[in-house]
Amino acid sequence: MSKLNPSIKYHLLIAALIGLWLFIFAFIIKPFDDGTINFRAWLFISFGFSVMAFLCYGFLSIIQKIFYKRIGKWNISLEIGAIFLFYLMYFIGVFAFYKSPILNGGYTFFQFFSIIFIKVALVLTPVIVLARRYLIKLIPIKDDVLLFKGENRLDILKINKADLVCISNAQNYVEIFYLENDKLQSKLIRSSLKKVQNDFGFLVQIHRSHLINPMHFKSWRNANTIILTQIELPVSKNYKEVLLAL
């Protein structure tokens, strides 16, 4: 899973789904029923398990959004870590509820984990995984717009990602080549090639002085030159392998 939907609103919907699922599970399955708990007590217990899950997952949605904004990426390891963090918070919270004077549960920490919590995790994990995967499909599709800002106040260029062809170093400036009405245009901005590359990770370096948008790669002119949309650029030996992998 390489994406995350950071929307707290959507994740609160998952929290509500988890809460409902756990309420049904606790009320119907009765994971620690000893035959002495009446209907009203089970209703209260199930509600407590449900609310605790909602709160823990809601807190997780805030944490993961902050973390995602800070690092700007997501992967399977972070996804597993997020689910594990939810279970950790939920286990601590629900065990505290179980041992509180309200319930005064008799299971020890390890008994509660092995007899009750593992059952909860087994029935809940597929729901969480499928719901989180579905949320990725709800990420709004936006036009990819790139905003280049230079050191000078008026050094601004805003273009669609698909229109950017390449960027070349020009001493203390970078020259940005882009399409406008199907014609190749360029603009000088006071910046460095390294900064542009850090800001826009999709760009591919083919030479110490050139970055390209791989969408506009057409073909090889020869062993040292490539053809892009309406322009040709040299390829350095050190970067040839990266370009061949495209």
CATH number at residue 161: 2.40.50.1020
State the pTM of this model: 0.58
Give domain status of residue 149, yes or no: yes
Give domain status of residue 104, yes or no: yes
pLDDT of residue 180: 95
pLDDT of residue 142: 61
Contacts of 132 (CB under 8 A, 6+ apart): 1, 5, 14, 79, 83
Which tokens is 240 given? 């040839």
Give domain status of residue 3, yes or no: no
Give domain status of residue 1, yes or no: no
Domain limit, last residue, from 79, 105, 136: 136
The domain total for the chain is 2
Q: Looking at residue 217, what DSSP letter applies?
A: E
Give domain status of residue 91, yes or no: yes
Residues 171 and 123 both lie in one domain: no
Domain limit, last residue, from 113, 136, 159: 136
Which residue range forms the structural domain that includes residue 65?
8-136
pLDDT of residue 64: 94
Residues 17 and 78 both lie in one domain: yes
Q: Which tens digits make up the pLDDT trace of 58-84?
A: 999 999 999 888 887 888 999 999 999
Residues 26 and 105 both lie in one domain: yes
- pLDDT-based confidence at residue 11 (cuts at 50, 70, 90): very high
Q: Which tens digits make up the pLDDT trace of 196-227?
A: 998 898 899 999 999 999 999 999 999 999 99
Rounded distance, CA 62 to CA 47, Å?
Answer: 23
Residues 36 and 131 both lie in one domain: yes
Residues 172 and 96 both lie in one domain: no
Q: Which tens digits make up the pLDDT trace of 134-170?
A: 998 887 656 588 999 998 888 899 999 999 999 999 9
- Give the type of residue at 193: L
